[in-house]
Amino acid sequence: MTGLFSPLQIKNLTLKNRIALPPMANSLSDDSGAVTDKHIKHYVRRAEAGVGMVIVEHAYVRRDGRVDARQLGIHDDALVPGLRRLAEAVKACDTVVGIQITHGGGKATQATAGGPVLAPAEGIIPGGAEPAVALSTSQIAEIVAAFAAGARRALDAGFDFVEIHGAHGYLLSQFLSPLTNPGSLEGRLRAPLQVVKAVRALVDDDHLLLYRLGASDYMPGGLTEAEGRRAAGALAAAGVDMLDVSGGLNGSQPPDWDKKSQGYFVPMAAGVRAEAKVPVVVAGGITDPHAADRFIREGQVDMVAIGRAMLVNPDWAARARAALDADA
């Protein structure tokens, strides 16, 4: 039976188990956005403990999409050698590694963006701090091209996959939400699908395209789970190899989660998986290896991502193996 330590094959890539480190911003860069030795140490420390897949934290594809002055960047070719050092160090741990590429849209500030704050519509978005200027069609095309250029840098640096950030209220999540981009679901999906198609064209069978989908806003008038599932189907049809399911405008935690429960996004992710028919990874409140193993055995999701628990305990994967072996 398929469990937490079963390998997973997607296209020509084999993941040695079903444990992922989800993208988690470290704010370890300087104003240039470059990789530092601290980044490498952080990721290698966790990969060495037996993580199957590492998703490196959100890296901005253009300076005006930066949300934190110390955020990692992927907006400039000069950053590729540092990114290559990071990718190679994690791959040396027999871990599949990718990087999340992002534009912050209306969640940036003029100070972090170095210019006007840009969003699908003008005004302050939920979770934003400053009024944004509405993007024109040609400006959207330039951002799509910036995502493609960021993906190309990731592949040049040797990453196994690219994850497009479409969750947590950042730009592509702003496009998908009716609260920040009124209109039909088809219209709201236009820019996210343009990004997927532009990146897809660069990804061969030895590499993967992941999309982190904020599949529900958990806000009145916001994106619903039913719409999130339809969006997932459209993203998969456009060529996404794996969906990473999380929250939308409201962020990476539902507002009313029971802190004692495990895997608060697992039911939503299982619904996405059934609709989109591509492998699904999910993070969110998973700390117990037995629960993680159960989510895989029950076929609800294909991989689990362990975020905060792996920040606290870098050896989570090794300890999970020991805990599950002790039961066998």
Ligand X SMILES: Cc1cc2nc3c(=O)[nH]c(=O)nc-3n(C[C@H](O)[C@H](O)[C@H](O)COP(=O)(O)O)c2cc1C
Chain contacts with ligand X (rule: CB under 6 A): 22-25, 57-58, 100, 165, 167-168, 212, 246, 252, 283-286, 306-309
Task: Compute the least distance from the CB of residue 101 to ligand X, in Å.
Answer: 10
Token couple for 96: 């599949």
Give 99 or 179: the residue with its C-beta nearer to ligand X.
99
Q: At what angle do helices 37-47 and 80-91 cross, to 10 degrees?
A: 20
Task: Compute the least distance from the CB of residue 168 to ligand X, in Å.
Answer: 6
Q: Of 54, 59, 97, which is closest to residue 76 (Cα–Cα)? A: 59
Element (H, E) at 42: helix 37-47
Task: Compute the least distance from the CB of residue 285 to ligand X, in Å.
Answer: 5
Give 266 or 283: the residue with its C-beta nearer to ligand X.
283
Task: Compute the least distance from the CB of residue 320 to ligand X, in Å.
Answer: 13
Positions of E strands within the chain: 8-10, 13-15, 19-21, 53-60, 96-102, 118-119, 133-134, 161-166, 208-214, 242-246, 280-283, 303-305
Please give the Cα distance from 271 to 226 (Å, whole number): 9
Please give the Cα distance from 228 to 276 (Å, whole number): 10
Other CB atoms within 10 A of residue 178 CB: 19
Catalytic residues: 170
Q: At what angle do helices 225-237 and 185-200 cross, to 10 degrees?
A: 30
Give 45 or 201: the residue with its C-beta nearer to ligand X.
45
- Give the residue closest to ligand X by C-beta: 307
Task: Compute the least distance from the CB of residue 307 to ligand X, in Å.
Answer: 3
Give 165 or 188: the residue with its C-beta nearer to ligand X.
165
Task: Compute the least distance from the CB of residue 194 to ligand X, in Å.
Answer: 20
Give 202 or 309: the residue with its C-beta nearer to ligand X.
309
Please give the Cα distance from 15 to 1 (Å, whole number): 17
At 196, which amino acid appears?
V
| Inter-CA distances, 85 with 4, 21, 47, 256, Å | 29, 18, 15, 40
Give 183 or 231: the residue with its C-beta nearer to ligand X.
231
End-to-end Cα separation, the chain, in angstroms: 13
Please give the Cα distance from 19 to 95 (Å, whole number): 10
